[in-house]
């Protein structure tokens, strides 16, 4: 990462190779089509390149930083209605996307990790997992979710907090 | 714990999930600077949101994604390594590019630029060009104003250090607005407008607003008049603009 921060394009290429799969997968999961997901991924990686000096290792891994930027970009895209139809799909529930047909070793590890996390999400009460997923993957604000579900805003925010708290506990137990 | 903690007590989870509106996010981030309780809550819950990003099945992007990203990265790296190229020249080209779409009709947002606005560009351009030569530790850019709607106004954007740390936009001579309206600050990037903050001006028409986002790659910072509370997207032409 030191070389990336020094502006070395070859080092950035390594970073891209290492994280672009996870970045694209997250964007694709959120917006539901390849073209928009690639636009978001491209914007995100160029933003990462241009703001590389902002990365601080004491605040988390490079992967977390990259995925955080992709997540923000995808939310921006969803809220700009670039992927209007996706909103309805998200509101109707989570669907699995088509996976890469032949997985690399790294992708196999990530698929297994994804299954573990989804298993932890599956332990949440449905009213908590729903608001968490609508917010994180659907890009909806808490007030939009409240309106969509006919639930007070305070309740939605409370469920978000409880959902994340329980998910955190589940993940800790999985590791233990 | 900050005095206004009660109002933000449930915000950390919504913030981590990206579920706050732009204006709510800015308000929470301001609160966060003085509230260790919310900071601790964020640190506590963050592993859960990070796990959400890892819950998606792997899907492979096309090869074109890498080539398009690396093409830009290599070009920009090459430009950085050519010290003979004046920094100002690159900046001026960027500014001219930002204006040209308004004449060609390519960019819907830039197309707002009115004839009066373009006239004002000519007057202000010398100051903008001069400011480009400022030291990298900080620079101030002159604002362009709509000479019809805010004829007495002037303004400047002060960018501290590298432009990833945001900026402060200051204005003078702006008309006071009725109570149901505010001024709203936006960053324009690739034809898209991203809200930054809202503000009102004092009796003397002076005011200041934060531009907290990274300005890297942005084309301009704009001010529009919007309904009280701010808007999700600009509802009219900008009254003040600072080219980047």
Residue B24: which CATH number? 1.10.10.1320
* A14: confidence class by pLDDT, cuts 50, 70, 90: very high
Q: Do B41 and B110 reside in the same domain of the chain?
A: no
Q: Do B203 and B130 reside in the same domain of the chain?
A: yes
Per-residue tokens: B63? 């090869």
Mean pLDDT score, A54-65? 84
Within 31-50 of B, beta carbons closer than 8 Å to A belong to 44-50
What per-residue confidence (pLDDT) applies to A116? 86
Residue B90, min C-alpha distance to chain A (Å): 16
Q: Do B19 and B118 reside in the same domain of the chain?
A: no
What is the Cα–Cα distance from B193 to B139, expressed in whole angstroms? 23
Q: Do B104 and B49 reside in the same domain of the chain?
A: no
User: How many structural domains does chain B have?
Assistant: 2
The mean pLDDT value of chain A amounts to 83
User: At residue A66, does pLDDT exceed 50?
Assistant: yes
B20–chain A Cβ distance below 8 A for any pair = yes
Contacts of A26 in chain B (CB under 8 A): 53, 56
Q: Do B28 and B125 reside in the same domain of the chain?
A: no
User: At residue A159, does pLDDT exceed 80?
Assistant: yes
Residues whose CB is less than 8 angstroms from the CB of residue B157 and which lie 6 or more positions away in sequence, other chains included: B140, B141, B143, B167, B168, B169, B170, B211, B221, B242
Listed as own residue / partner, the contacts of B98-101 with beta carbons closer than 8 Å and 24 or more positions apart are B98/B188, B98/B219, B98/B220, B98/B243, B98/B244, B99/B243, B101/B191
B9–chain A Cβ distance below 8 A for any pair = no
Q: What is the pLDDT of residues B101-123, one digit of tens each?
A: 333 333 333 333 333 333 333 33
B54–chain A Cβ distance below 8 A for any pair = yes
Per-residue tokens: B13? 């989870």
| Interstrand relation of B138-142 and B167-172 (parallel, antiparallel or unpaired) | unpaired
What is the Cα–Cα distance from A68 to B87, expressed in whole angstroms? 31
Q: In this structure, is residue B64 part of a structural domain?
A: no
| Test mutation, B13, B77, B188, B189, chain A, max A CBs within 10 A | B13
Q: Do A141 and B70 touch (CB under 8 A)?
A: no
B96–chain A Cβ distance below 8 A for any pair = no
Burial of A150 (0-12, 13-18, 19+ CB in 10 A): exposed
Q: Do B34 and B152 reside in the same domain of the chain?
A: no
Q: Do B239 and B162 reside in the same domain of the chain?
A: yes
Q: In this structure, is residue B91 part of a structural domain?
A: yes
Q: Which domain holds residue B40?
A: 5-53
Q: In this structure, is residue B228 part of a structural domain?
A: yes
Residues of chain B with pLDDT under 70: 1-3, 82-138, 161-165
In this structure, of A63-77, A101-115, B125-139, the range with the lowest mean pLDDT score is B125-139
B17–chain A Cβ distance below 8 A for any pair = yes
Q: In this structure, is residue B127 part of a structural domain?
A: yes
Q: Do B50 and A137 touch (CB under 8 A)?
A: no
Q: In this structure, is residue B81 part of a structural domain?
A: no
What per-residue confidence (pLDDT) applies to B114? 36
Q: Say how many CA atoms lie within 13 Å of A171 toward its Cβ.
A: 23
What per-residue confidence (pLDDT) applies to A103? 64
User: At residue A86, does pLDDT exceed 60?
Assistant: no
- What chain A holds in terms of domains, given with CATH numbers, is 1-98 (1.10.1740.10), 101-176 (1.10.10.10)
The mean pLDDT value of chain B amounts to 74
Q: In this structure, is residue B189 part of a structural domain?
A: yes
Q: Do B229 and B151 reside in the same domain of the chain?
A: yes
Q: In this structure, is residue B61 part of a structural domain?
A: no
Place of tokens 């590389």: A52
Nearest residue in A to B52, CA atom: A117
Q: Do B172 and B233 reside in the same domain of the chain?
A: yes
| pTM for this model (two decimals) | 0.57
Within 115-144 of B, beta carbons closer than 8 Å to A belong to none
Q: In this structure, is residue B75 part of a structural domain?
A: no
Q: Do B41 and B126 reside in the same domain of the chain?
A: no
Per-residue tokens: B178? 């009725």
Q: Do B57 and A67 touch (CB under 8 A)?
A: no
What is the Cα–Cα distance from B159 to B147, expressed in whole angstroms? 24
For chain B, the distance separating the N- and C-terminal CA atoms, rounded to the nearest angstrom, is 38
Nearest residue in A to B70, CA atom: A13
User: At residue A92, does pLDDT exceed 50?
Assistant: no
User: At residue A90, does pLDDT exceed 80?
Assistant: no
Q: Report the percent of chain A where pLDDT is more than 70.
A: 85
Q: Do B49 and B91 reside in the same domain of the chain?
A: no
Q: Do B187 and B238 reside in the same domain of the chain?
A: yes
Q: Do B60 and A98 touch (CB under 8 A)?
A: no
What per-residue confidence (pLDDT) applies to B5? 80
């Amino acid at each position: 990462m030191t070389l990336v921060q020094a502006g070395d394009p070859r080092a950035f290429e390594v970073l891209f190779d290492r994280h672009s799969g996870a970045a694209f997968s997250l964007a694709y999961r959120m917006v539901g089509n390849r073209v928009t997901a690639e636009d978001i991924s491209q914007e995100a990686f160029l933003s990462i390149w241009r703001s590389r000096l902002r990365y601080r290792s004491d605040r988390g891994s490079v992967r977390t930083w990259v995925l955080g930027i992709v997540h923000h970009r995808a939310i921006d895209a969803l809220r700009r209605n670039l992927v209007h139809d996706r909103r309805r799909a998200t509101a109707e529930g989570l669907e699995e996307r088509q996976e890469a047909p032949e997985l690399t070793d790294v992708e196999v590890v990530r698929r297994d990790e994804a299954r573990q996390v989804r298993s932890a999400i599956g332990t949440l009460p449905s009213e908590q997992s729903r608001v968490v997923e609508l917010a994180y993957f659907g890009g909806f604000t808490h007030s939009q979710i409240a309106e969509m579900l006919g639930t007070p805003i305070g309740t939605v925010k409370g469920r978000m907090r409880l959902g994340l708290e329980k998910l955190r506990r589940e993940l800790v137990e999985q590791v233990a | 714990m900050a005095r206004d903690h009660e109002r933000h007590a449930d915000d950390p989870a919504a913030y981590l999930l990206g579920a706050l509106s732009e204006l709510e996010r800015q308000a929470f981030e301001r609160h966060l600077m003085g509230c260790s309780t919310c900071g601790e809550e964020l640190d506590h819950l963050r592993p859960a949101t990070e796990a959400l990003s890892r819950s998606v099945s792997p899907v492979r992007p096309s090869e074109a994604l890498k080539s398009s990203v690396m093409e830009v990265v290599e070009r920009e790296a090459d430009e950085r390594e050519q010290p003979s190229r004046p920094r100002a020249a690159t900046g001026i080209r960027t500014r001219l590019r930002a204006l040209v779409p308004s004449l060609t009709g390519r960019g819907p947002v830039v197309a707002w630029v009115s004839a009066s606005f373009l006239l004002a560009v000519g007057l202000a351009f010398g100051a903008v060009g001069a400011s480009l030569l400022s030291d990298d530790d900080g620079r101030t850019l002159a604002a362009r104003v709509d000479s019809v709607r805010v004829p007495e106004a002037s303004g400047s954007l002060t960018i501290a250090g590298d432009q990833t740390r945001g900026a402060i936009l200051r204005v003078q001579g702006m008309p006071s607005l009725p109570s149901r309206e505010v001024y709203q600050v936006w960053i324009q990037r690739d034809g898209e407008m991203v809200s930054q903050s809202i503000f009102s001006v004092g009796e003397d028409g002076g005011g200041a607003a934060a531009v907290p986002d990274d300005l890297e790659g942005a084309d301009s910072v704009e001010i529009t008049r919007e309904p009280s509370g701010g808007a999700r997207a600009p509802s009219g032409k900008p009254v003040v603009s600072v080219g980047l």
